[in-house]
Amino acid sequence: MDEMPDWVHDFVSPPRFKPYLKAASGDVATAVRLYWWNIEVSSAFYPSLHFLEVALRNAMHRQLAGTFARDDWWETASLLKVSLSKVYAARAKLTERGRPPKPLTADDVMAQLSLGFWTSLTSKRHDQILWVPCLHRAFPHYRGARERLHRELDTVRLFRNRIMHHEPIFHRDLGADRRTILRLLGYLSPRLLEQLTPYDRVEAVLEQRPVFRPDPGEGDR
């Protein structure tokens, strides 16, 4: 095994670098290339993940606000306690920050809620409360069961979290991850796919993937 560069040892750390070194069969130069490529491909996913999250919450919020006839629909939507607590936590966080200086709006709160929150609203627990009455209309181009949509959203949520926490994603089927994101955008509106296309670099970056030995145990993490 080649000697690990000082910058890796001091600022990346051996434990964080280990997955790359393992995939490179101990070849440090290949591991370094893989490390930087992991950063590059993570950044390439940012436009589609960003666009999906913003589009998703706005589409869902629009249906919920329309059904419950108020922008702060969570006050009358009979949300589960765990979901409602996330709304109140988001509102409290904004208040603590002193932002905005004027009274909070529903839009302020909505933008603070995580992808995990919006994904949870498509779960079985919210089926009769939200999905059947209105949320299915947020996905006008989807024809499948709620369960499958929820699984796809949750897959993207976990994938997004890996990227945002700077975890390795090089071992995944990233082409499949990209296709899932694009499918979800298409469920909302084909126009979103048209808007994203000029900014989607994922396929180009995937073609530059360094050669490494995949670890069969890493594929779905």
Give the pLDDT confidence of 23-72 residue by residue, as tens digits. 999 999 999 999 999 999 999 999 999 999 999 999 999 999 999 999 99
- At 9 the pLDDT is 94
CA dihedral (85, 97, 167, 200) in degrees, to 10, reads 100
pLDDT confidence bin for 102, thresholds 50/70/90: confident
Could you tell me the residue range of the domain that residue 143 belongs to?
45-203
Q: Is residue 23 part of a domain?
A: no
- At 221 the pLDDT is 45
Round to whole Å and give the CA distance between 87 and 122.
16
Q: Is residue 141 part of a domain?
A: yes
Structural domains in the chain (count): 1
Q: Is residue 38 part of a domain?
A: no
What the block records as the tokens of 205 is 């970056």
CA dihedral (16, 17, 18, 22) in degrees, to 10, reads 140
Q: Is residue 14 part of a domain?
A: no
- pTM beyond 0.75: the answer is yes
Q: Is residue 68 part of a domain?
A: yes
Q: Is residue 186 part of a domain?
A: yes
Q: Is residue 82 part of a domain?
A: yes
Name the residue among 137, 163, 164, 131 with its Cα closest to residue 150. Answer: 131
